[in-house]
């Protein structure tokens, strides 16, 4: 979904809960079916999580239209305050964890795989935190992501734990990097509170033998060759292999240059 937004910036502190995969990016329609078709008819009648329908995922990229994605019906989007300080902690969890659809239970180890074609790839948060050189090559763009919370008292009340909704809203607006935004979707304009999605991976990125962070282009290509190759062919046609080799060579040169820098930041001769 495309959207336009006008930002009003504020200042001051918000962190992810230190749980595996607390980023929750895979719980939006950039990954799940737009009609929540992964849920099934029976589960579709169950109670919604705290995030639906108030929280969306906004993706922005220079030179591209903004993209706004709906959340899964069962997404629990929870914000709580650390005891003894003003730090806000954000956690995204599945509200029906033990009853998740199979494709959600297998995620992110099955990231990129479909029912009919086993193409493994990194999860969306893994790619979001990947080096810029990887995103420039594989997607031809870098992007930023925000959690967009509807600026509505009922929405705030739904996602904050044991907080007065009005006080919670003021605390959220004072948090570092948080913005107010007017987002237009077609002919409708709504006000949202935007929380920038951290690229910090420590303690919040699920890790397994199959699911590893994107370190370098070469490492990622060896691990997820088929998926990345399809992307490169779509972007560069018959020149995809030359583009890949050039990017790996440039990445190695940059890494070598960084290794030769001394502690003062000067290049060693």
Q: CB count, 10 Å around CB of 170?
A: 11
The pLDDT assigned to 266 comes to 60
Q: Are residues 160 and 148 in contact, defined by beta-carbon separation less than 8 angstroms?
A: no
- Domain locations in the chain as residue ranges: 2-215
User: What pLDDT, on the 0 to 100 scale, is given for residue 10?
Assistant: 41
The pLDDT of residue 260 is: 67
pLDDT value, residue 68:
94
- Angle, helices 225-236 vs 240-259, to 10°: value is 110
Residues of the chain with pLDDT below 70 are 1-12, 84, 114-117, 260-269
Q: Whole-model pTM?
A: 0.86
What was the pLDDT predicted at 254? 85
Beta bridge partners, 185, equal 188
CB 213 within 8 A of CB 21: no
Write down the pLDDT at residue 15: 84
Q: Give pLDDT, residue 11.
A: 42
């Amino acid at each position: 979904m495309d959207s336009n937004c006008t930002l009003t910036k504020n200042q001051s502190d918000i962190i992810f809960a230190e749980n595996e995969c607390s980023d929750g990016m895979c719980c939006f329609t950039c990954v799940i079916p737009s009609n929540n078709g992964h849920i099934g008819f029976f589960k579709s009648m169950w109670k919604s999580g705290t995030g639906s329908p108030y929280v969306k995922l906004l993706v922005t990229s220079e030179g591209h239209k903004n993209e706004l994605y709906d959340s899964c019906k069962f997404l629990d989007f929870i914000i709580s305050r650390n005891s003894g300080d003003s730090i806000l902690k954000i956690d995204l969890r599945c509200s029906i964890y033990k009853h998740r659809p199979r494709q959600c239970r297998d995620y992110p180890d099955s990231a990129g795989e479909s029912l009919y074609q086993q193409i493994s790839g990194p999860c969306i948060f893994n790619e979001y935190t990947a080096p810029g050189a990887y995103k420039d090559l594989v997607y031809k763009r870098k992007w930023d992501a925000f959690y967009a919370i509807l600026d509505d008292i009922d929405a705030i009340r739904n996602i904050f734990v044991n907080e007065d909704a009005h006080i919670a809203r003021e605390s959220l607006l004072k948090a570092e990097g948080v913005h107010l935004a007017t987002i237009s979707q077609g002919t409708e304009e709504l006000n949202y509170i935007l929380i920038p999605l951290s690229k910090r991976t420590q303690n919040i990125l699920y890790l397994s033998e199959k699911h590893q962070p994107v370190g370098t282009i070469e490492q990622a290509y060896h691990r997820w060759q088929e998926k990345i190759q399809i992307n490169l062919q779509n972007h560069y046609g018959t020149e995809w292999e030359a583009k890949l080799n050039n990017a790996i060579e440039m990445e190695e040169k940059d890494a070598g240059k960084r290794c030769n820098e001394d502690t003062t930041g000067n290049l060693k001769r």
